[in-house]
Amino acid sequence: MPSPPVPSWRPTSSCPHRDRRRWSAGRSEERRMATFLLIHGASHGGWCWEKVVPLLEARGHRALAPDLPGSGEDHDTPLSAVSLAGYVDFVSKILDKEAEPAILVGHSLGGLTITHAAEARRRKVRALVYLSALLPPPGMSGRDVTAREADALMRRSREYGGDGRTYSFKRSNVPALFYNDCDPDDVYKAMARLRPQAAAISATPMVYTEERFGSVPRWYIECLRDNAITLSMQRWMLQQTPCKVLTLDSGHSPFLSMPDTLVERLETVARDSVERETIA
């Protein structure tokens, strides 16, 4: 099995890593800005964060939006070689290159990756943010969660390859599934960039511990009009694994439909992590 590619990402920030910026949130103090590592979901790539990255940078943060192996612009990794362990190793190598812990943001299927990355590199993770993301309890897989709703649009939209090792999404369903509140031009561009997804990721059961994963502050951003990871799915997962909760009145892809508001939510997480460090 080929090993995952060396981590790479699009150039995202002109800010030096040790830059110190002033945070104004009712008061002015010298604050360290956050590094955000943005992990995309199924069939997407780092491109889905293109509106979010410059907004975070404009506020003084660093933002990394990599393509996971076999996704986005990575056409070198065959989907047959893609695994959740490979995703986690890829993200862990990025974290290892960072001088300070990062805030991991996982969207949709990306929730599985950030959960295991926190288990593997808890001291390199400042906080976890699940953006309408999969957060199954230990022993369950992402597919187990979506299977709880037999008539969910997500289940009806998956189309598996002949060997069952990959899936795509029925094109006629994609606008309603992923982009129900997005500008038509954004929908058109996004659909042109979707790629098949390795099925092994959502089929892998979660293995994490309270000592490692559980020691990392975690947040869940509910997307109230999501047709993919429905609100009932989101809240069921939160019952199993509680998080601090923020909300967006959005569909599944707020990085396209309301990036400014999404960045405000991410800044809430960054502000909280700074306050935690100050108290500590």
CA distance 221 to 151: 24
pLDDT at residue 188 tops 50: yes
The CA-based dihedral angle spanning residues 20, 24, 30, 32, taken in that order and rounded to the nearest 10 degrees: -40
CATH code matching the domain that covers 33-279, chosen among 3.40.50.1820, 3.40.50.300, 3.30.70.20, 3.40.1190.20: 3.40.50.1820
Domain spans, the chain: 33-279
Q: How confident is the model at residue 274 (pLDDT cuts 50, 70, 90)?
A: confident
pLDDT at position 16, please?
34
Per residue in 167-184, pLDDT (tens digit) is 999 999 999 999 999 999
- Cα(241)–Cα(30) distance, rounded to whole angstroms? 34
pLDDT band at 27; cut points 50, 70, 90: very low
pLDDT higher than threshold 50 for residue 119 = yes
With a cut of 80, say whether residue 280 has pLDDT above it: no
Confidence of residue 13 (pLDDT cuts 50, 70, 90): very low
Cα 31 from chain centre:
25
pLDDT at 30: 37
Mean pLDDT along residues 238-261: 99
Average pLDDT over the chain reads: 91
CA pair distance 53, 9, nearest whole angstrom: 12
pLDDT digits (tens, 9 = 90+) for 50-105: 999 999 999 999 999 999 999 999 999 999 999 999 999 999 999 999 999 999 99
- Residues 63, 38 contacting (CB under 8 angstroms): yes
**Distance set, CA 149 to CA 96, 154, 197, 214, 240 (Å):** 38, 9, 21, 27, 16
% residues pLDDT > 70 (the chain): 88
Q: Inform me whether the pLDDT recorded for 32 exceeds 90.
A: no
Name the band, by pLDDT with cuts 50, 70 and 90, for residue 279: confident
Q: Outline where the chain has alpha helix (H).
A: 52-58, 84-97, 110-120, 142-146, 153-157, 174-178, 184-191, 200-203, 231-240, 254-257, 259-279
- pLDDT tens track for 33-44: 999 999 999 999
User: Can you give the pLDDT at residue 172?
Assistant: 98
User: Rounded to whole angstroms, how far apart are CA atoms 52 and 219?
Assistant: 18
How does 60-73 read in b/e, with b if 16+ C-beta sit within 10 Å?
bbbbbbbbbbbbbe
What end-to-end distance do the CA atoms of the chain give, in Å? 44
Interval 136-155 mean pLDDT? 95
